[in-house]
Amino acid sequence: MIAIDEPTPKTASLTSLALNATGMVITVEENCKNKKRLQELGFFSGSKVKFVHRGRAGGPRAFRIMGAVIAIREEDIESIIISGEVC
Amino acid sequence: MKPGAGGAAEAVYVVTLAGNPNTGKSTLFNALTGLKQHTGNWTGKTVGCFSGEFSYKNARFIVTDLPGTYTLDAASADELAAQEEILRHCCNATVVVADATCIERNLILALQLLEIKENVILCLNLIDEAERKSIKIDTELLSKLLHCPVALTNAVNKRGMAELYDAIYKTSKCEMSSEKLIFHQNGASHMENLINLAREITAETVVYEDTDCDRRDRAIDNAMLSRRFGIPIMLLALFGVFWLTVVGANYPSGLLAKLFGIIENALYNFLHLVNSPEWLIEMLITGIYRTLAWVISVMLPPMAIFFPLFTVLEDSGFLPRVAFNLDYYFCKCGSHGKQALTMCMGVGCNAAGVTACKIIDSERERLIAILTNSFMPCNGRFPTLILLAAIIASGIGGSALSALIVFGCVILAVCITFLVSKILSKTMLKGMPSGFILELPPYRKPRFLAVILRSITEKTLVILGRAVTVALPAGLLIWVLNSLTINGTSVILYISTFLNPFAVMLGIDGMILTAFIIGLPANEIVMPIALMCYTGASGLVSANNISAVSQILAENGWNVITALCVMIFSLCHFPCATTLLTIKKETRSLKWTFTAFLLPTAVGILLCFIIAQTARLLTG
């Protein structure tokens, strides 16, 4: 994999999104085992994602994307890259 | 059958229902065909392909309901089945069932199908829900942009079905068709093209007038998924279900028992009237009839109450939330959060639970879920648990206590499932958890009357039928074993005396162990068999008279510890024959089937041994 050293300000992992905040998906990291599954659920460049529910610490979190609410485990959330808050 | 091959009288066409998970394909299938395919509000409920038929105008249509799939790049076994069906088999019409409240994502699959087929019909289902959420859809424009016919339906109340029938008919007759979608090379990946097009089309055709349209669902989920209340609410709901089942089953059970008593007398008199030989009367009445009456009057009421309650939870969207709340613990045990769903299915029937394991992508985690499924007490074992709980509780408290004991059994079963899953993922099925991605569907109001009717016809009667077909020969077998004597001792006594020393170590006795072994074909008949063995030649006591039953058990040396050990052994022993066959089918491996047989049995033996020996030490 080629690392791109372009300065990308304001991008962060989806884990950093605050509860009830909305972000814009940029990409899902290559090394994510479930990349394909996440993509087909709408985690794709340009999709708006809202963090809607937080379960217990270390457990899955729920996000609203493309009109549906999807629960995802932490390690997969980490590999979703978003650009800061949208609204 | 050759699709489209016109018979002498009418033409036969093949129709496929494809779509994202939980868009109501099965409900639509039922609406189209009038069949009663199992439906529910959770992703992965349909794991196999089901076919049905309907006639419209002068043609016959064969419809296949496929498991839900997000795209044509399948990840799990159930999706693979859908994909194979779509790609391999040719059909005359492909109906893409899409959730009208979530069009953008549903369009991805529709676009993929438009690329490979020219007979696509887009069916926007759940249109009532979309209207409630103020989602405005320009259907005409959507149809124009996609170059494919679009039908609006609400399968639950059969709204829009006429248009759908018509679209299917016209497409099958080639009077109507969709246009093949071709992407031009533009450097972007295929998935990118699909998503961008879906986005563009949605932006043009769909207006969300209320951007916060799911606030009610989010408000409920704020409680259901919260770290403080999530699990307590789940436990409370579970306890409520058991309490209603235990309390509600009492009365009809007694009533049924009385009814069977009256029939028995009539039958007895009739057999005497026609001068039947004494042994025949004995065999028919104390052997077959009483076992049958026992199974029905003990089994039917709890099932008739439990299944509708469970179906209400299933339809409302409760199960995915259970999976969400439990995922943390499954993750810690190295297994998959969707195992919570297969566990819940196992409560109805372990064979169904094992089949449901298809929704788990990772082979390793799927095997863990299959091997541990039989720890969940299925409906065949519930009546045993309820009866024994009632016996334990009868001296102390009422039905609330027996509900609490049954509830405790289920919690114990869940804990054992976690523990064994953890041990498996550290030993035989080593590996890291693969991840958990699950859609949390909107809450839907269950249609209570439909739910009750459906769960009685769909589940209760089916399972009861199975129990009855097993109970008949089993009743006969026990009667023969009981009546056949060698040197004045019945065969069954020989068997149970042989097993007794081992059984006593486990806190139970030879008779009940024999009953568990004979009960392999169906767990429902374990208690009837045990009671028949105890009462010997005098035959089975009248059903569901708890004090009579507990008296017989006490006469045969039972105490609270015995009842407890039997309950534990009932939770943890070899799965029934049907479940074993299903495991064989699902794993295609004798080794895993054998493991599924040994594993729970070993756990049961270990637990019962510890309890029995501790009790013996304490009481001296």
List pLDDT tens digits, range B592-603.
999 999 999 999
Q: Beta strand B489-490 with B485-486: parallel, antiparallel or unpaired?
A: antiparallel
In this prediction, residue A4 carries a pLDDT of 53
Of the pLDDT bands very low, low, confident and very high (cuts 50, 70, 90), residue B7 is very low
Scan for tokens 């769903």, then name that residue. B341
> Which of B478, B515, B484 minimizes the C-alpha distance to B499?
B515
pLDDT at B6 over 50: no
Which residues of chain A make contact with B436, given a CB cutoff of 8 A? 60, 71-73
Mean pLDDT of B72-80: 73
**CB proximity list for B98: less than 8 A, separation 6 or greater:** B19, B20, B23, B106, B107, B109, B110, B122, B123, B124, B125
In this prediction, residue B4 carries a pLDDT of 44
- Report yes or no: B91 and B16 within 8 Å, Cβ to Cβ: yes
In this prediction, residue B559 carries a pLDDT of 86
What are the tens digits of pLDDT across the range B331-368? Answer: 999 888 889 999 988 888 898 899 889 888 888 999 99
pLDDT at B106 over 80: yes
In this prediction, residue B210 carries a pLDDT of 82
Q: DSSP string spanning A17-33?
A: PPTT-EEEEEEE-TT-T
Q: If you average pLDDT over every residue of chain A, what do you get?
A: 84
B333 phi, psi to nearest 5 deg: -90, 5
In this prediction, residue B141 carries a pLDDT of 93
Mean pLDDT of A12-19: 90
pLDDT at B388 over 60: yes
**Residue A38 sits at the chain B interface (C-beta within 8 Å):** yes
Give percent above pLDDT 90 in chain A.
37
B227 → chain A, closest CA residue: A56
Residue B436: left if φ>0, alpha if ψ -120 to 50, beta else—which one?
A: beta
pLDDT at A8 over 80: no
Q: How many Cα atoms occupy the beta-carbon half-sphere of B113 within 13 Å?
A: 36
In this prediction, residue B455 carries a pLDDT of 77
Pairwise CA distance, residues B579 & B345, whole Å = 13
In this prediction, residue B74 carries a pLDDT of 65
In this prediction, residue B36 carries a pLDDT of 73
A53–B192: do the CB atoms touch at under 8 Å?
A: no
Tell me how far CA of residue B583 lies from CA of B373, B450, B488, in angstroms.
10, 32, 42
Residue B70 one-letter amino acid: Y
A67–B101: do the CB atoms touch at under 8 Å?
A: yes
In this prediction, residue B540 carries a pLDDT of 55
List helix spans (H) across B90-211: 103-116, 127-132, 139-146, 161-172, 190-205
In this prediction, residue B527 carries a pLDDT of 85
Mean pLDDT of B88-114: 89
Of residues B211 and B505, more confidently modeled: B505
Complex-level ipTM beyond the 0.90 threshold: no
In this prediction, residue A3 carries a pLDDT of 52
Of the pLDDT bands very low, low, confident and very high (cuts 50, 70, 90), residue B2 is very low
Mean pLDDT of B226-235: 91
B254 phi, psi to nearest 5 deg: -60, -40
Pairwise CA distance, residues B308 & A18, whole Å = 40
Of residues A56 and B46, more confidently modeled: A56
**Residue A24 sits at the chain B interface (C-beta within 8 Å):** no
A71–B195: do the CB atoms touch at under 8 Å?
A: no
Q: Pick from A42, A55, A62: which is nearest to B328 by CB?
A: A55
Tell me which of A37, A38, A54, A63 to substitute to probe the interface with B (most B C-beta atoms closer than 10 Å): A37
Pairwise CA distance, residues B245 & B567, whole Å = 18
Of the pLDDT bands very low, low, confident and very high (cuts 50, 70, 90), residue B308 is confident
B22 → chain A, closest CA residue: A68
Tell me which of B438, B443, B444 to substitute to probe the interface with A (most A C-beta atoms closer than 10 Å): B438
Of the pLDDT bands very low, low, confident and very high (cuts 50, 70, 90), residue B39 is confident
Tell me if residue B57 falls in helix, strand or coil: coil
pTM score of the predicted model: 0.87
Pairwise CA distance, residues A15 & B506, whole Å = 50
pLDDT at B292 over 90: no
**Residue A58 sits at the chain B interface (C-beta within 8 Å):** yes
B104–A76: do the CB atoms touch at under 8 Å?
A: no
pLDDT at B29 over 70: yes
Which residues of chain A make contact with B41, given a CB cutoff of 8 A? none
Give percent above pLDDT 70 in chain B.
96
In this prediction, residue B348 carries a pLDDT of 81
Least confident of B2-6, B77-81, B321-325, B608-612: B2-6
In this prediction, residue B545 carries a pLDDT of 67
In this prediction, residue B565 carries a pLDDT of 93
In this prediction, residue B396 carries a pLDDT of 72
Q: Pick from B102, B327, B433: which is nearest to A66 by CB?
A: B102
**Residue B101 sits at the chain A interface (C-beta within 8 Å):** yes
pLDDT at B542 over 60: no
Scan for tokens 């609330």, then name that residue. B400
Of residues B396 and A57, more confidently modeled: A57
pLDDT at B451 over 90: no
B218–A52: do the CB atoms touch at under 8 Å?
A: yes
B438 → chain A, closest CA residue: A71
Helix and strand numbers (H, E) in chain B are 26, 11
> Which of B372, B363, B347, B373 minimizes the C-alpha distance to B423?
B372
Tell me if residue B589 falls in helix, strand or coil: coil
Burial class (CB in 10 A: 0-12, 13-18, 19+), B515: buried
Q: How many Cα atoms occupy the beta-carbon half-sphere of A77 within 13 Å?
A: 24
A58–B328: do the CB atoms touch at under 8 Å?
A: yes
Q: If you average pLDDT over every residue of chain B, what do you get?
A: 86
Which residues of chain B make contact with A64, given a CB cutoff of 8 A? 214
Pairwise CA distance, residues B303 & B241, whole Å = 12
Give percent above pLDDT 70 in chain A.
85
Smallest CA–CA distance, residue A46 to chain B, in Å, is 9
Least confident of B14-28, B37-51, B132-146, B467-481: B37-51
pLDDT at B491 over 80: yes
DSSP label at residue B159: B
Pairwise CA distance, residues B492 & B509, whole Å = 13
- Report yes or no: B154 and B170 within 8 Å, Cβ to Cβ: no
Of residues B462 and B363, more confidently modeled: B363
Of the pLDDT bands very low, low, confident and very high (cuts 50, 70, 90), residue A49 is very high
Pairwise CA distance, residues B269 & B251, whole Å = 28
What are the tens digits of pLDDT across the range B122-142? Answer: 999 999 999 988 899 999 999
